[in-house]
Amino acid sequence: MQRIFLIALAAALIAVAAPTNVSQAVAEEGPDQVYFDVTGHYLEDEFLDFWREYGGIQTFGYPLTPAFGQDGMTVQYFERHVLEYHPDNPDEYQVLLRRLGADARDDRNLAHRWPFDAHEEENPDRFFPATQQNLSHRFADYWEDNGGTRIFGYPISSQFRHHGTRVQFTERAIFEHHPDNDPEWEILFERLGAQAAERDGVDTSPQEHDGATPHYDEDLWQEPEPEPEPATSSSGSSGSTDSEATSNSPALPAELRIDRIGVRSSFEHLGRNSIGAMADPVGWDNVSWFNEGPRPGERGNAAVAGHLDRPGGAPAAFWNLRQLRPGDRVTVITEAGEELVFEITEMEQFHINNPPTSKIFGSSDSRDMNLITCAGNWDTSIGMYDQRLVAYTTLVSD
């Protein structure tokens, strides 16, 4: 039923080899630690790179705490976000953001208010079937230019007025439109990080400057000198490089097809839910790709979940997954129209208290995709099925 994969999923357990995306912020030459006079805190290393790459002060605000250990991970609170560091994740997913927008919706008991209801498609370029919401045109450009779902997650409300300001909730932020500001500052965000710091009781006291670390200024970073182009051979041919291989990574998954059992399901791109487990698909006939791991077709283990049934027992997307056998084929259609064909190598059923976590999410030298759904018996004491079924697949053509 509704809970697909409530196996506690610490993202730090995910150690998959995936292509590295080197951001412009990382490529620039500059300090790896800076100090902010405004709040009296340092920002450094991976958090600094991430902060600069995805919008800096406008998106995240100033740091409110140093980086510190919390619940087994390194975190840092900012005015508008909380960053988490997961060093064992693929490079592009080592820094993650908490779902503060969804938390705010739930804490304020807004989930059943009209802006959070499912909505009809208004514009196909700004409609998200996963949450049945349209991203407002007011926020679309900023959302797209500063990381999209990677940073903000899906929209979870329509736009609406709140105390005279137009706002829109996404999974990780609340967008605000301030038309009287200078154009570059029209889009701002509610200070959810500051609210989380107060709620969590973290110490936001300023730190003294050490006298050596540079004070933050964007002029501290400069573009490196371009390297000379390599000489080409007389024949004009050249071998492929790692960077070329990275650029050839598959596009994001759009549709899953399993002809043997009649599956035609749209992909939702989801991460972890509020308790750290792999999030369920929103739609009963959809499947969800765990977007904190590799994409289907990338090196490593891509994880895809689908519902077994609906409330009341009617079949859902993966109702017939148990009928699959090794050798059956599974096709992923990407957003770029690529067809990636996978072959099932193994079927495995296990109790929820004994999951093969590393086998499903761990590192792999091949390009694997693992399909997950419920199995076993419904346990009324915990409100979910007591077992899970996984179809392990590997890429055979792209």
At 357, which CATH number? 2.40.260.10
| Domain-located, residue 214 | no
The two most distant CA atoms of the chain are separated, in Å, by 73
- Both 50 and 138 in one domain: the answer is yes
pLDDT given at position 357: 84
Question: Are 181 and 46 within one domain?
Answer: yes
Q: Is 209 helix (H, G, I), strand (E, B) or coil?
A: coil
Confidence at residue 226, expressed as pLDDT on a 0 to 100 scale:
60
Point out the domain boundary residue: 179, 200, 221.
200
Cα–Cα dist 101/238, whole Å = 48
pLDDT at 276: 66
**Domain closes at, from 200, 231, 264:** 200
In a domain, 234, yes or no: no
Q: Between the CA atoms of 334, 339, 343 and 344, what dihedral angle is there, to the nearest 10 degrees?
A: 30
368 falls within a domain: yes
Q: What is the pLDDT of residue 221?
A: 87
Say what the pLDDT of residue 125 is: 79
Residue 248 pLDDT: 64
pTM (2 d.p.): 0.53
Please check whether residues 170 and 292 belong to one and the same domain. no
- The identity of residue 19, as a single letter, is P
Same domain, 29 and 164: yes
Residue 272's pLDDT is 79
Mean pLDDT, contiguous 10-residue spans, the chain (398 residues): 42 32 52 94 94 90 95 94 87 85 92 90 84 90 85 90 91 92 88 94 94 92 64 40 51 93 92 73 91 91 93 89 95 92 95 85 90 89 85 90
Tokens of 214: 């540079």
Is residue 243 in some structural domain? no
Residues 147 and 33 in one domain: yes
- Give DSSP secondary structure letters for 296-358: TTSSEEEEEEE-SB-TTS-B-TTTTGGG--TT-EEEEEETT--EEEEEEEEEEEEETTS--HH
> Looking at the structure, do residues 180 and 77 belong to the same domain, yes or no?
yes
* Coil, helix or strand at residue 118: coil
| Phi, psi values for residue 129, rounded to 5° | -60, -30
Both 29 and 172 in a single domain?
yes
User: What CA–CA distance (Å, rounded) separates 379 from 1?
Assistant: 11
Q: Are residues 298 and 377 both part of a single domain?
A: yes
Same domain, 194 and 77: yes
Same domain as 167, residue 277: no
> What is the pLDDT, as a whole number, of residue 295?
93
Query: How many structural domains compose the chain?
Result: 2
279 lies in some domain: yes
Q: Do residue 127 and residue 270 come from a single domain? A: no
Residue 307 lies in a domain: yes
129 in any annotated domain: yes
Q: Which domain holds residue 294?
A: 250-397
Query: Are 286 and 305 a contacting pair, CB within 8 Å?
Result: no
301 with 382, same domain? yes
